[in-house]
Amino acid sequence: MPERHTIHRLTRDHGKLLVGNSLSVTSPQGRFADAASVDGPRLTNVEAHGKLLFYRWDLGHTVHVHRGPFGRFRRLRPPFPEPREAVRTRVVSKAGGFDSTGPTDCRIVSADEEAGIRDRLGPDPLRSDADPDRFRGRVNRSRAAIGSLLLNQSVVAGIGNVYRAELLFSLGIAPTRTGRELDATAIDALWDLMVEWLAIGVRYNRIITTDPVVVGRIRGRMRRHKRLLVYKKPCCTECGGGIETIALGGRPLYYCPSCQS
């Protein structure tokens, strides 16, 4: 196992396994017991900026979590199972909690480190403090493909490989168009759609770019292809032509060559 587990550091710093009376943290190395009976740190706040999370503890620490492609949160109900190998943090109360498994990054950060990390992020369409002009400006000036720009977290924070494909398809924009080729209307439309879709994602805890009401009615049991427009589809839902992929930003971007220009 890698050495940079949050819990290793927490335990080392404080000389004991940290277990809270309302929340607790443990690891595969630490014993998980007395969850509801021992005083310990409390989680006071979790802040999200783009895909990055900052967990604030009443000890004064901030734990930075970056899930990456592999990280998962798993809900827990008592009786709590032993943490599996990839569990980095566990947060529980008497009623329940969650494990964080397999995050790319999970470590205590100083205020300075956090500021450094956040300085590199562009506006997050979910945040009320987001400045859309920063997004507009970056896109407007860039000679890079819009498909790459949407994945660049310093241009806009929070868009991943699924959303970028869906956004460009929905707006009929070819992924290889450069940022500066797009007119103000198109850039505005991108931002507005990100704001709308990400809010839907939060609400349903899923990426949904089709009608969320229809999807919601069947309680999310609908398969992925019902929630998405192009991502990983063989054929275009609009024209019936073949969906193709192009590598942009190092990842495959799904698009319809005839519907997107």
Partner DNA sequence: AAGAATGTTATGTA
Partner DNA sequence: CTACATAACATTCT
Binding site for DNA (CB under 7 A): 1-2, 50-52, 66, 68-70, 72, 85-86, 101-102, 104, 117, 120, 141-145, 148-149, 151, 153, 160-162, 179, 207, 224, 232, 247, 249-252
Query: Which residue do the tokens 């929630």 mark?
Result: 227
Residue type, 195: V
Question: 41: helix, coil or strand?
Answer: coil
**Minimum distance between the CB of residue 132 and DNA, rounded to whole angstroms?**
18
**Minimum distance between the CB of residue 57 and DNA, rounded to whole angstroms?**
22
Report the catalytic residues.
Answer: 2-3, 51, 251
Q: What is the CB-side half-sphere exposure of residue 220 using CA atoms within 13 A? A: 8
In this complex, which beta carbon is closest to DNA, that of residue 132 or of residue 137? 137
Largest CA distance in the chain: 63
**Minimum distance between the CB of residue 31 and DNA, rounded to whole angstroms?**
20
In this complex, which beta carbon is closest to DNA, that of residue 20 or of residue 163? 163
CA distances (Å), 97 to each of 26, 152, 154, in order?
A: 12, 32, 32
**Minimum distance between the CB of residue 172 and DNA, rounded to whole angstroms?**
21
Residues 6+ apart with CB under 8 A from 139: 146, 149, 155, 179, 180, 182, 187, 190
In this complex, which beta carbon is closest to DNA, that of residue 60 or of residue 250? 250
In this complex, which beta carbon is closest to DNA, that of residue 15 or of residue 219? 219
**Minimum distance between the CB of residue 94 and DNA, rounded to whole angstroms?**
25
Residues 6+ apart with CB under 8 A from 123: 130, 131, 132, 134, 135, 156, 157
In this complex, which beta carbon is closest to DNA, that of residue 38 or of residue 126? 126
DSSP character for 39? -
Phi-psi region of 13 (alpha: psi -120 to 50; beta: other; left: phi over 0): alpha
- Please provide the DSSP assignment of 200-243 as one string: HHHHHTS---S-HHHHHHTTT-S-HHHH-SSTT-SB-TTT-PBP
